[in-house]
């Protein structure tokens, strides 16, 4: 019953006609082809993404040492002990969580709005808008590892631009931007924002272009101020892109890793949850259970934006399917 | 913007508009110009530093008029750190990975967008969600799985999936296929189904409809995704840090981590190395920017 409904709806969407053609059955050979086309990618993604995800959740409840045979894993079950210990006696956990939250707050309150603002300005038909777009877009093609490299040249105590510009390097007023745990996270976040704002600008600009211009003209003729028109007309019309921007922002904040790892392996003020996971795999005092539990905490937080995105994206398809 | 509407509006209130607009435009231009200049400082500064010899900057300071420019830093970074070798590693991983990502993503997208099965939407979610997960959630088990799967030594000199190119290609493919499936399925929905119907009436098999009808029409989307994926895989840092051990097999972005202490001993060298490493992505920026942006926005705005 449901399948029939789905077939008519899907067939009717793209060219709006002839649902009865859908009823044609595929030959055996075609069914095999479809099976391979779907089956191989399915196995790859299931085996390398979903299976390890399930295993991470399982391992987070064990104290498996990572060496013995896989058959021994069930006997190392410890329940919620890892989670309890992480929260109580694992010193880097709370700082790491706090830093991830600062990261998220900075992107949400500063970098993302700035990228949106740039997009809004560049959406006006200004002279040179393409050049400006290219300039703001430039950092987006760089990896965060390279961003870390490039900003070391700015922040370095003796050889960096800022200290050489504003302080006399012969005196002892040098600011160790990346070494001082009180400020290094914020110094890094400026570098991260440099790249993130351009990313958001690109996404948002595409969204603005897709807003029906007559909406804005109508608002202008009604005498609405620019800010008012943006808030009440343009912004609501861009709901799909707003969700994408929000999801990208949260996911970037949770995935952050490269830049702190390249600066100082994510220590001394730059601890992040992602770094703790890596430390518990290849670090000296690695504990499979801890690493997995921290990854599960990251996953749990990530599920919020992921669900929102999937829900808003696929609800429409479900409704029509 | 419809020009008729604009003209009508300007005719209605020409003077007020002019006077109100001009200063605002000026402020806007000044703001954008200054911001753009600030935006260019990090890369401009890296360029400036990279062309100066260490002795020059040591004597005169980094903020000073250069006494002669040199390519020595580039030469040192290129030779001593053996950068060409790491570029090659990146290509060995990125090129097959992109091929399989686009192959897998386009075949799943074809089935989802051309044929009607009850599992179409759940399957799209299965693939899309896999790309949204934090990579750390697969990392610990994947490391231990990779350590336990043997490979013949002609495929991997470690004898394992761990520390092999194949292992890195595989995880990149698995992780990125979801994003491309999502983008391509949206793209394929805009291709009229009547094309497939016609092909089927002519007796074309599913394979022919996929390879001969739909894929050629997806060329713009495939090009955009290839460019985007190249940048992402080239820029990836995490997988090789955990799933590889031998420095000599690492792709260039991950190799930076160990190279920086060993060879890039002063700021001038770091600047030159960083600029060498970004050349491939700058080529993308300069020549393929449109593809890159359309790849990003295809994923974001269609739906």
Q: Which A-chain residues 180-239 have CB contacts (< 8 A) with chain B?
A: 191, 194, 198, 202-203, 206-207, 210, 213-214, 217, 220-221
pLDDT at B142: 95
B45 touches chain A (CB under 8 A): yes
Shortest distance between the Cα of A110 and any Cα of chain B, in A, equals 15
Identify the top-confidence range among A45-54, A152-161, A200-209, A211-220. A45-54
Report whether pLDDT(B225) > 80.
yes
Three-state secondary-structure class, residue B250: coil
A139·B115 Cβ contact <8 A: no
A143/B253 CB distance under 8 A: yes
* Residues of B with Cβ-Cβ distance to A162 under 8 angstroms: none
Contacts of residue A118 in chain B, CB cutoff 8 Å?
A: 35
- A32/B contact by beta carbon, under 8 A: no
Angle between helices A112-123 and A129-137 (to 10 degrees): 160
Nearest CA in chain A to B303: A313
Mapped to the 3 state alphabet, what secondary structure does chain A carry?
Answer: CHHHHHHHHHHHHHCCCCHHHHHCCCCHHHHHHHHHHHHHHHHHHHHHHHHHHHHHHHHCCECCCCCCCHHHHHHHECCCHHHHHHHHHCCCHHHHHHHHHHHHHHHHHHHHHHHHHHHHHHHCCCCCHHHHHHHHHHHHHCCHHHHHHHHHHHHCCCCCHHHHHHCCCCCCCCCCCCCCCCCHHHHHHHHHHHHHHHHHHHHHHHHHHCCCHHHHHHHHHCCCCHHHHHHHHHHHHCHHHHHHHHHHHHHHHHHCCHHHHHHHCCCCCCCCHHHHHHHHHHCCCCCHHHHHHHHHHHHHHHHHHHHHHHHHHHHHHHHHC
- The answer, for A55 touching chain B at a CB cutoff of 8 Å, is yes
Average pLDDT score, chain B? 87
The percent of residues in chain B predicted with pLDDT above 70, rounded, is: 91
Q: How far is A288 from chain B (nearest CA, A)?
A: 7
Contact with chain B for residue A261, Cβ under 8 A: yes
Q: What is the pLDDT of residues B146-194, one digit of tens each?
A: 999 999 988 888 899 999 999 999 999 999 999 999 999 989 988 888 8
Domains in chain B: ranges and CATH:
3-73 (no CATH), 76-301 (1.10.3720.10)
Structural tokens at position B189: 């929905």
A243 touches chain B (CB under 8 A): no
Q: Does A18 touch chain B (CB under 8 A)?
A: yes
In this prediction the pTM is 0.88
Look at residue B133 and tell me whether its pLDDT is greater than 80: yes
Residue with tokens 């709370």: A94
Looking at the complex, report in whole angstroms how far the Cα of residue A296 sits from the nearest Cα belonging to chain B.
6
Q: What are phi and psi of A172, to 5 degrees?
A: -100, 35
Interface A-B, measured as beta-carbon pairs within 8 A, has a size of 330
Q: Which of B28, B118, B260 sits opposite A121 (nearest CB)?
A: B28
The reply to whether A289 touches chain B by the CB within 8 Å rule is no
State the smallest CA–CA distance between residue B209 and chain A in angstroms.
11
pLDDT at residue B102 greater than cutoff 90: yes
Select from B166, B42, B179, B159 the least CA-distant residue to B104: B179
- CA of B76 vs chain A CAs: smallest distance (Å): 17
Residues of B in contact with A264 (CB under 8 A): none
What mean pLDDT comes out for the span A171-184? 84
Q: What angle do CA B194, B197, B203 make, to 5 degrees?
A: 150
Query: Any chain A CB within 8 A of the CB of B53?
Result: no
B104 touches chain A (CB under 8 A): yes
Give yes or no for B292 touching A (CB within 8 A). Answer: yes
Hey, are the CB atoms on B132 and A309 less than 8 Å from each other? yes
Asked if B129 and A310 come within 8 Å (Cβ–Cβ), the reply is: yes
Q: How far is CA A100 from the centre of its chain?
A: 12
- Answer yes or no: do A33 and B207 touch at CB < 8 A: yes
Distance CA B66, CA A11 (A): 68
Q: How confident is the model over B28-45, as a mean pLDDT?
A: 95
**Which of chain B's residues have a Cβ under 8 Å away from the Cβ of A267?**
none
C-alpha span between A98 and A214 (Å, rounded): 45
Phi, then psi, of A77 in degrees rounded to 5: -60, 130
**pLDDT for position B300:** 67
> What is the rounded average pLDDT of the residues B78-97?
94
Do residue B116 and residue A10 have CB atoms under 8 angstroms apart?
yes
Residues of B in contact with A97 (CB under 8 A): none
Chain-chain contact of A150 with B274 (C-beta, under 8 angstroms): yes
Residue B195 in this model has a pLDDT that exceeds 50 = yes
Is-contact B292 B227, C-beta < 8 A?
yes
**Which among B35, B62, B253 has CB closest to A161?**
B62
Domains, chain A, in order of start with CATH, read 90-286 (1.10.3720.10)
pLDDT digits (tens, 9 = 90+) for A10-19: 443 444 444 4
Residue B15's pLDDT band (boundaries 50, 70, 90)?
very low
Other CB atoms within 10 Å distance of the CB of residue A305:
19
Contacts of B274 in chain A (CB under 8 A): 146, 149-150
Question: Which chain A residue's Cα is nearest to B270?
Answer: A149
B1, A135: Cβ pair inside 8 Å?
Answer: no
Distances from the Cα of A77 to the Cαs of A81, A85, A88, B144, in angstroms? 9, 15, 20, 18
Q: Cβ contact (<8 Å) for B256 and A262? A: yes
A208 or B19, greater pLDDT: A208
Residue A243 has pLDDT above 60, yes or no: yes
Contact between chains at A42 and B126 (C-beta distance less than 8 A)? yes
Residues of A whose CB is below 8 A from B253: 143, 145-146, 258
Chain A residues with beta carbon closer than 8 angstroms to that of B175: 48-49
pLDDT number for residue A4: 39
Contacts of B278 in chain A (CB under 8 A): 141-142, 146
Q: Tell me, what's the pLDDT at B2?
A: 41
């Amino acid at each position: 019953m449901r399948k029939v409904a789905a077939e008519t709806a899907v067939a009717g969407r793209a060219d709006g006609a002839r649902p009865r053609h859908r009823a044609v059955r595929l030959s055996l050979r075609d069914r095999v082809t479809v099976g391979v086309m779907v089956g191989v990618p399915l196995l790859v993604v299931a085996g390398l993404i979903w299976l390890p995800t399930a295993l991470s959740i399982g391992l987070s409840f064990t104290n498996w040492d990572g060496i013995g045979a896989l058959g021994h894993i069930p006997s190392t079950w410890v329940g919620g002990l890892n989670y309890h210990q992480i929260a109580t006696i694992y010193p880097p956990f709370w700082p790491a969580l706090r830093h991830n939250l600062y990261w998220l707050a900075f992107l949400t309150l500063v970098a993302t709005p700035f990228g949106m603002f740039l997009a809004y300005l560049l959406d006006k038909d200004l002279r040179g808008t393409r050049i400006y777009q290219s300039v703001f877009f430039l950092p987006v093609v760089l990896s965060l590892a390279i961003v870390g490299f490039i900003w070391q040249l700015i922040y370095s105590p003796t050889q960096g631009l800022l200290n050489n510009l504003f302080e006399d390097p012969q005196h002892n007023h040098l600011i160790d931007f990346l070494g001082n745990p009180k400020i290094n996270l914020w110094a890094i976040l400026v570098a991260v924002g440099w790249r993130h704002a351009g990313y958001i600008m690109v996404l948002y600009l595409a969204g603005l272009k897709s807003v029906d211009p007559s909406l804005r003209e109508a608002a202008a003729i009604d005498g609405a101020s620019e800010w008012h028109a943006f808030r009440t007309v343009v912004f609501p019309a861009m709901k799909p892109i707003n969700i994408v921007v929000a999801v990208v922002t949260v996911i970037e904040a949770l995935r952050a890793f490269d830049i702190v790892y390249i600066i100082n392996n994510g220590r001394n003020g730059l601890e992040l949850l992602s770094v703790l996971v890596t430390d518990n795999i290849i670090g000296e005092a690695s504990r499979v259970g801890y690493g997995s539990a921290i990854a599960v905490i990251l996953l749990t937080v990530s599920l919020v934006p992921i669900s929102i995105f999937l829900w808003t994206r696929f609800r429409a398809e479900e409704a029509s399917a | 913007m419809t020009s008729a509407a604009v003209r009508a509006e300007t005719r209605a209130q020409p003077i007020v508009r002019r006077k109100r607009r001009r200063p605002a435009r000026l402020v806007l231009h000044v703001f954008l110009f200054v911001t753009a200049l600030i935006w260019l400082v990090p890369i401009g500064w890296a360029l400036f530093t990279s062309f100066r010899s260490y002795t020059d900057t040591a004597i005169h300071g980094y903020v000073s008029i250069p006494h002669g420019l040199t390519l020595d830093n580039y030469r040192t970074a290129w030779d001593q750190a053996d950068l060409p070798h790491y570029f090659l590693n990146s290509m060995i991983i990125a090129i097959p990975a992109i091929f399989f990502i686009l192959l897998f993503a386009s075949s799943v997208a074809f089935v989802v967008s051309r044929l009607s099965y009850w599992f179409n939407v759940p399957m799209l979610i299965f693939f899309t969600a896999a790309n949204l997960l934090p990579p750390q959630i697969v990392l610990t088990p994947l490391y231990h799985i990779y350590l336990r799967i043997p490979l013949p030594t002609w495929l991997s000199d470690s004898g394992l999936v761990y520390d092999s190119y194949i292992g890195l290609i595989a995880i990149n493919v698995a992780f990125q296929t979801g994003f491309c499936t999502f983008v391509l399925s949206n793209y394929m929905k805009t291709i009229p189904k009547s094309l497939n119907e016609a092909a089927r009436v002519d007796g074309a098999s599913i394979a022919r409809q996929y390879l001969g009808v739909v894929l050629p029409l997806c060329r713009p989307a495939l090009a955009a995704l290839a460019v985007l994926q190249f940048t992402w895989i080239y820029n990836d840092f995490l997988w090789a840090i955990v799933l590889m051990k031998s420095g000599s097999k690492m792709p260039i972005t991950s190799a930076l981590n160990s190279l920086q202490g060993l060879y890039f001993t002063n700021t001038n060298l770091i600047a030159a190395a960083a600029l060498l490493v970004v050349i491939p992505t700058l080529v993308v920026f300069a020549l393929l920017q449109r593809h890159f942006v359309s790849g990003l926005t295809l994923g974001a705005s269609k739906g």
